[in-house]
Homo-oligomer: A and B are copies of this chain.
Amino acid sequence: MSELVSEQFIDIAEESFIPKRLDRLRIGMFGLGVVGSGVWRVLREKRNEFAYRFGIDVTIERVCVRDGSKDREVDLPIDLITLNPADILEDESIDVVIELMGGRYEAQTVIEAALKARKHTITANKLLLAYELPRLRTLAERNGVNLHYSASVCGSVPVLRALDNHRSGDSIEAIRGIVNGSTNFILSSMTSSGLSYNEALLLAREKGFLEADPTLDVSGQDAAQKLSVLIYHAFGLHMTPDVIETDGIEGITSQRIATELSNGKVIKLIAEASLDAHGKLNAHVALQAIAREHLFASTRDEFNALEITARHAGPQILYGKGAGSFPTASAVIGDVVELLREQL
C-alpha cells in the first residue's frame, strides 16, 4: 500500500512541477573571470560543510567559457571546461546554472534556456536584470525553479533580501545609496588626496577598480541599472534604466570637491528613488553634496551603502564591499545556500 502511494505521489509531483528533493546539487557555470574563479574556490572550500549541514553534495560539474585558450589563475581540472553552452544547458544531470559571463543578449539566451530546462539559476547580471527581471521571474515561476541574483547589486551586502523583508512586513518610502564602487573610488581619491579627475581615473584603473571601458561606470549607467533592480524589490515596479534620469561623474572638478569640503560636505554619486504623496515614483542618479556626519560621507573607495526608509522601521543603512572577486563570490554562494535551504 505504501508503495502504491509513493508511486502515485511521484506522478503528482512530476505533473505539477513540485521541485525535486536533492542529495546532490550539480552546478554548471558560465564565465570564469575574477568572480567565477572566486566562486569555484569558495564552493570547493565549502563542500564538506554543505554536505554536513544540508546533506547535499554541491559540486561544479561544467564551466562554459568563451575563450578556452586563456590562461587562468585557478586550479580547475581542464576537462571541466567547455566552449559549448549545450554541454551545460542540455545536460539533464545539471540542476543549477550560475551565469557570470556578463553582457546582455548572450546571457539572456543562456538564462532563458536554463530556466526552460528547469534548472535553478543564479546570476550577477544587473544589465540583463534591469531590462528583463519581470520576464525572467515569470519564466522561473512557470518552470517551477528559483532565480536568485543577490550578487547583481551591492556585491556581498544583502540589500535585496532586506528590501523584500521590509516591503512585506512594513512599507518602503524611499531608497538612496552609493551603489557603484568605481565612481566612489574616484570621488574618494579626489576628496582625500586632492587628485584631479584624470589622475583619480588612472589610479582606479591601476587598482583594478575600473572596467576596460569605464563608460558604463562614469556615466552613471551602471548605477542606474542597479537602481532599476532595487526599485523592483523596494516598490514592486519595473522601471528600466533608460527612463531613469542619470548623471555621471565626468563633469566633476577638484575645485568643486574642495569648495564642498570647505562647507563640511563630500560629493557622492547617489542613486535614489522615492514615492511621492500621489504614489508616483521619482528616480534618478546624480552627484550630491553629503553632510560629513552622514554615513554616506564615510563610505569610501569600493564600498557601497544603501539607505532604506520604511514607514515603521525608519531609516536603515546597509554598508559593505560592493565589488571585487570574493565579495561578489560570497553573494553568489549566499544564493547557493538559499537554494540548498529551498531543497529542505
Residues of A within 8 A of B (CB): 1, 5, 8-9, 38, 42, 46, 53, 155-158, 161-162, 165-166, 168-170, 293-295, 298, 310, 312-321, 324, 326-327, 329-331, 333-334, 336-337
In the complex the two chains form, is B334's CB within 8 Å of A314's CB? no
- A42 to B8, alpha carbons, bound, how many Å? 44
11 additional A-B residue pairs with CB within 8 Å, beyond A158-B162, A295-B295, A319-B319: A5-B5, A5-B9, A42-B312, A46-B169, A156-B312, A157-B313, A169-B334, A294-B298, A312-B327, A313-B331, A318-B318
Asked, given contacts A312-B329, A326-B312, whether A337 binds B168 with beta carbons under 8 Å apart, the answer is yes
28 CB contacts below 8 A, A to B, read: A53-B168, A155-B313, A156-B310, A156-B316, A158-B165, A161-B161, A161-B165, A168-B334, A168-B337, A169-B330, A169-B334, A170-B334, A293-B298, A295-B298, A295-B319, A310-B330, A312-B327, A312-B329, A313-B330, A314-B320, A314-B321, A314-B326, A315-B320, A316-B318, A316-B319, A316-B320, A317-B317, A319-B319
Look across to chain B and name the residue whose beta carbon is closest to the beta carbon of A317: B319
Look across to chain B and name the residue whose beta carbon is closest to the beta carbon of A161: B161
In the complex the two chains form, is A320's CB within 8 Å of B313's CB? yes
In the complex the two chains form, is A326's CB within 8 Å of B313's CB? yes
**Residues of B close to A327: CB separation below 8 A:** 312-314
**Residues of B close to A333: CB separation below 8 A:** 169-170, 312
Look across to chain B and name the residue whose beta carbon is closest to the beta carbon of A320: B316
Look across to chain B and name the residue whose beta carbon is closest to the beta carbon of A326: B312
- A153 to B298, alpha carbons, bound, how many Å? 25
**Residues of B close to A155: CB separation below 8 A:** 313
- A100 to B111, alpha carbons, bound, how many Å? 46
- A162 to B318, alpha carbons, bound, how many Å? 10
In the complex the two chains form, is A337's CB within 8 Å of B158's CB? no
Highest count of chain B CB atoms <10 Å: which of A1, A314, A334? A314
In the complex the two chains form, is B156's CB within 8 Å of A313's CB? yes
**Residues of B close to A334: CB separation below 8 A:** 165-166, 168-170
